[in-house]
Amino acid sequence: MNERIGFIGLGTMGKPMARNLMKAGYVLAVHNRSRGAIDELASEGAVPADSPLEVARASDVVITMLPDSPDVEQVVLGPNGLLQGAASGLVVIDMSTISPRVARSVYGASRERGVSFLDAPVSGGETGAKAATLSIMVGGDREALERCGPVLEALGKSIVYMGESGSGQAAKLCNQVICALTILAVSEGLLLGKKAGLDPETLLSAVTGGAAASWMLSNLGPKMTASDWRPGFKVMLQQKDLRLALETARDLGLPLPGTALVGELFRAVQAHGRGADGTQALITALEDLAGG
């Protein structure tokens, strides 16, 4: 517990993750774009910071949980960024989902300043963040990961070292492709059952017990049938992740036709003003195509 931890990005995922670190006994310096989340965690014992630079000066390890690649670049590399306040030996663990290319770039810039940078995106959504059961995929220097193992163990139940810088982000994009296409499969199956006149709860009970069983079916299926669109993971963020996956595939000359299709369907959901809904709202795009 000797490591002083900084945490930047106190959103849907970041806030419960920060709380789990505090529960594990770590002293936390926190920063966020909006002040409300800072004050909330400060009331629970965290130390408020006015900038990433200030977080770096107060920390041995800094975790970032941010929306997209430009946000990570700004927080780490920008004016008043982490590198501006970093002492040699600082470890930055970026747990956002960003471009593998950007992760490698930030890794290189950090290394020049004597700072270790790990890309360590997560899977498990808000539920996993609250329960500290996230799956964490890590790219970067193994030595930095070994040093930060106890910190990550306070956040997740599965920590897998994927390889050199950018590998964690690449693994997360693979995860998101699989997740998004599974959500589409669940949506199509449940919509077919609805149109065929089946009772949705009975259908869920039947298919969840067989070969169609999946995390998405068990967790998002009931929300779809109940028209519960509260987010565990937002449509707009899933859409961003699929964009990154398709950009990476394009760089590799790899066709991902299913991913392109589900990306367009999520785009349709977002175009209808539902970007802040949970990803289970994908079924609404299919309902619109089917005429309700």
Residues annotated as part of the active site: 172
Question: What is the CA 140 to chain-centroid distance, rounded?
Answer: 18
Spatial separation of the C-alpha atoms in residues 196 and 194, rounded to whole Å? 5
Neighbours of 146 (CB within 10 A): 10
Check: CB of residue 77 under 8 Å from CB of residue 115. Answer: no
Residue with tokens 């967790």: 219
CA–CA gap between residue 61 and residue 178 (Å, rounded): 31
| CA angle centred on 69, ends 67 and 73, rounded to 5° | 110
DSSP 249-274: HHHTT---HHHHHHHHHHHHHIIIII
**Closest listed residue to residue 71, CA positions, set 46, 50, 94:** 94
User: What is the C-alpha separation between 94 and 253, in angstroms, rounded?
Assistant: 27
d(CA 247, CA 243): 6
Name which of 165, 179, 162, 157 is nearest 237 in CA terms. 179
